[in-house]
Structure formats: C-alpha cells, structure tokens
Chains A and B, each alone.
Chain A
Amino acid sequence: MFDLTGAVAAVTGGGSGLGLAMALALAEAGADVAVIGRRRGPIEEAASRIKDLGRRAVAAQADLTDGTHASAAFNQVTSSLGPVDVLVNNAGLVGGQGGVAIWDVTDDAWRGGVSGILDPAFYCSRAVSRQMCDRGKGKIINVSSGLGLRGARDNYMYGCAKGAIVQLTRSLAVSLGRYGVTANCIVPGFFPTEGTAASPMALPSAEFIPAGRVGRPGELGPLVVWLASAASSYMTGEVFVIDGGGLAGGYAPTGYAPVMHLPSSPARRSG
C-alpha cells in the first residue's frame, strides 16, 4: 500500500535538511528520485546516497525561482528517469525574512522574500502538471509551515509565502482533481536542520512544544511516503500538520493549564 517501486519522485531542495530526509524516505520506499537544488555539491551527494539504496537517481541543478530554469530542470529529470509521478515542493530560500519591523522591509526584501519561497512551488507545479494530467495520475506534495497558518511577530514574507503555498495546494487540488492528480500540503513544526541553524528566525525552546521536543527530520519520511503512495489516493487539497502538538493549542501559553471547578449546585444553573 505504501510501496513506491517504479515511481519517479522529484524533491526540490532535496540536497539538505528536510528535503534530503524526504528524498531518502521516498527512495527507501522504492521510488527513483530526482534531487533538484541550487547547490551542486549537496544534490549530487544526495543522489549518490539514493543510488546506494539501489534506486535510480539524478541530480538537477537549477535556480527554481526562475520559471525557465525550473522547466528545463524537469525536462532533464524526465529524460533521465521518465515522467514524474510525485513532486515534493520543498525548496524555499529561508533567511532574512523575519525579525524586521514592517516599516523597515524594503521593496526588494519583500519581493525577494516572498518569491524565494513561493515561486519555486508554482514554477515546479506548472512544469509537471500538464504531463501528470495527460497521464491521468500524479501527486504534488507541498511543504508549508505553521507560520503559514498563524501569525508571528515581525514576520511578513515567510508567513505570507507559506500561507500562499497552502492556497496553491487548494487551487491545484480543485483544478487538477478531475485529471487524477492530487495535491496536498505538509505543515512541519520545528525541525532543526543545518538551514535553520543559519536562519535568523529563532527556533522555540522545546518547552514550548507540547511534545516536549523539536521534530527529527526523519519523522517526515513516513508522512511523505504516505502522501506519495496509493494509500492517500482519495485525499486532495488537505493540509497535514506534523508539529508535536504546537498548533493544537495556541490559545494560551504552552503549559498553561487552569483548574476551575463547577459551582457546588450546578443543577440549578441550567437556565
């Protein structure tokens, strides 16, 4: 049911961090995997690790914030591995989008911050969707963020772009569903990676996460495999949160747990 043998998956930003974890999980489930990214070193290393698992792999270097580059990358992937069955839109330039008061956000910072996250998801979805629809099957898996669902102080570009990715998921689902193509969205909570370590957006202390700890990148694997597999074939347009319980709360500080009893004679108070 979760077997991906013979499927071709493409993971953008798959050379490191959560993208690498998802690429390896898809390969372990049987998929051949294209790793698309900006930096040649990490994507080639990732492709090599996937080949070590006995799958086919290709590393495609591309600047996915450019639509022409994105299309060219998917042409390369298709000619190497065949048509893409599963697209994981994980790539996004993170850094410099938070911690700045709105009046200090320049036009360039705004445009660059939003497009660096949102554009790759749109361009890559556009690049694969015609072929998916022609073949009558395909799975698009987008990666958003808790900050795409809730607000955070002095955070504009990241939250807006990640919120837009949720909406992109819904538009793709409604538009492509009739062709047998599904689109779903993963909302990871806090998963430390080498990328987040370099980001100015501070990760919260584990005490603010109901599970009492941050996520481990490998914990995204089973979720992406499920969303890539036939096991989720009737699920589309949905948002799947994997965050140790953070978004289940949010109406009070984590750990806030009031105690308040009923009045002594409650039956008289039904009015």
Chain B
Amino acid sequence: MTTVSTPAAQDTPLAGNVALVPAGAPAWTLAACRALMQAGAGVVLAGGPRNALPAGLSPSGVLQGAFHSSVQTDAAVAKAVSQYGRLDILVNLPQHELFLPAADLTDGALRALLEQNVESAYRWSRSAGLEMAARKRGNIITFVSGLSRRGLANGSAFAMTQAALDAMTQSLALEWAAAGVRANGIGYGWVDTEGRPIEEQQKDRLVRFLPLRRKGQLEDYMGLLVYLASDASGFVTGQTVFIDGGAMVHA
C-alpha cells in the first residue's frame, strides 16, 4: 500500500504535477491558479489572453487561442503535454452566471450559456481525460453551483447548466475510474468575489438567509481544490462536495 500524506502534512502536495486550467470567471481563475501554484503544481492557463492575466500571476504556461471544438482542445492538451511533460489535473472553473426570467431568455443566450458553461467543460474534460486515461493517472475537478440541486426563480437556464456539470462528473468518474482518472465536483454557493465586508453583505436578505450569515469567499474553496487535486483524496471520485455556508441543508 502506498503512503499518502495529507495536504497539511506537506507544503507542496502538488509538487511535480501539471494542472491545465481553462480560464473561467476572472476572480476564480486567479484564485485557483494561485492556490495550485502555491501547492507546487505547474499551471498551464488556457484561453486567457496574456494581457488579461492578473498582476502577480505567472503560470508555467499560457495556451492562447480559441477553444470551440474538440480538435482545438485535443491540440491544446497535446501541446501542454509536449511542453510540460505531463498532465495530472484539469480544473473546470465557474464560467458565466445568467439569471433572467425564462420568458426573457433568447435562443441565442441559451445556446451561448450552454456552450460556455457545459459544452466547453465537456470538451476540455474529454480531451484531458483521454490523455490522462492513456497515462493511467489524472484528476478532473469541476466547479458546480448549488443551484444544480435547488431551484431559483430566474435561474432556470443557469441551474440547468450546473446540473449538467454535476451529472457529467458522476458519469465520467465511473467511465474512467478503472483507468486511474478521478472526477469530482466542488459545489459552490453564493460567493462574493469582491471581498465586501460581512456587515455590508448582511444588509442583503439573501445573506441573512444563509446559516453562516455571509457569502463565500474565493479562499473558502481553495483548500478543497488542493485536496481534491492531490493524492490525499485518491479514493474520492464521483463526488460533488458543497461549500455553501449551509445553504443546501436549509429548510
């Protein structure tokens, strides 16, 4: 039996690993890349134009370009592997939130949301997962909103995309488990990416409704990201773990 260290037991549990991170919502992208790099992983950021990179973030590599087809994501994965020698981790970050009355949602907006939130994550997961399966090691981590499991007025399309990501995670976990590839979800609740003070947040009815009386911060998710990305979670697959201040258990 192999010995597994917990992330806390070592400073860099991801040392020697290469993570591919397709750019998502900017604040999430910055926080996730930093957390992975701090944990010792090499990070290859895909899709973000270099001049849009947040200050202070210098990933191992940047793959610029359009990624609208599996041909493009396959090529990006192959390039990452050829340049950095391996691919251990794929992170599908939060992309776009869209809250509109169903009556107001155009066909075009619906298609765009499905493309950005669902189909893109699927293509990246398939391209990276097949490469990982061939190497008998890999780890796909997908951010999934709690609205995948709870309804919200004006959230029909967004919630649908999140349920799709949750379902994708469970099925890919089974399909590639024997090939040594894990797939897990990080469930997120209501998150304040701007760092508003808690006292100010609590003026919102939504925040007073949450059992922990605050929105999530990006940092709330990074420990789980590193844990799921590391071998410390080697027996965890097919799970979406929710960090939402208790919203999911609220009556």
B67 contacts partner chain A, Cβ-Cβ < 8 Å: yes
Instruction: Determine whether the beta carbon of B206 is less than 8 Å from that of A256.
Output: yes
- Known contacts A252-B206, A271-B48; decide if A260 and B251 are in contact (CB<8 Å): no
B40 contacts partner chain A, Cβ-Cβ < 8 Å: no
B 86-100 contacts with A by CB, 8 A: 95-100
Residues of B within 8 A of A197 (CB): none
CB proximity of B131 to chain A, nearest CB, Å: 18
A267 contacts partner chain B, Cβ-Cβ < 8 Å: yes
Instruction: Determine whether the beta carbon of B206 is less than 8 Å from that of A146.
Output: no
In-complex Cβ contact of B153 among A255, A262, A263 (8 A): A255
**A258-B147 Cα distance, complex, nearest whole Å:** 13
- Report the interface size class on chain B: 35 or more
Instruction: Determine whether the beta carbon of A251 is less than 8 Å from that of B67.
Output: no
Task: Tell me the nearest residue of chain B to A268, going by C-beta.
Answer: B66
**A258-B98 Cα distance, complex, nearest whole Å:** 9
A151 contacts partner chain B, Cβ-Cβ < 8 Å: yes
Task: Tell me the nearest residue of chain B to A263, going by C-beta.
Answer: B96
B interface residues with partner A (beta carbon < 8 Å): 22-24, 46-48, 66-68, 95-101, 109, 112-113, 115-116, 120, 146-147, 150-155, 189-190, 205-206, 209, 211, 244, 246-251
Q: Which 9 A-B pairs rank lowest in CB-CB distance, beginning with the nearest?
A: A271-B47, A150-B251, A257-B153, A251-B150, A258-B99, A260-B99, A248-B151, A266-B112, A257-B154
A interface residues with partner B (beta carbon < 8 Å): 146-147, 149-152, 245, 248-253, 255-263, 266-267, 269-271
28 A-B residue contacts at CB 8 Å?
A152-B251, A245-B151, A250-B247, A251-B152, A251-B189, A251-B244, A251-B250, A252-B190, A252-B206, A253-B206, A255-B153, A256-B152, A257-B154, A259-B99, A259-B154, A260-B98, A261-B98, A266-B96, A266-B116, A267-B68, A269-B116, A270-B66, A270-B68, A270-B115, A270-B120, A271-B22, A271-B23, A271-B24
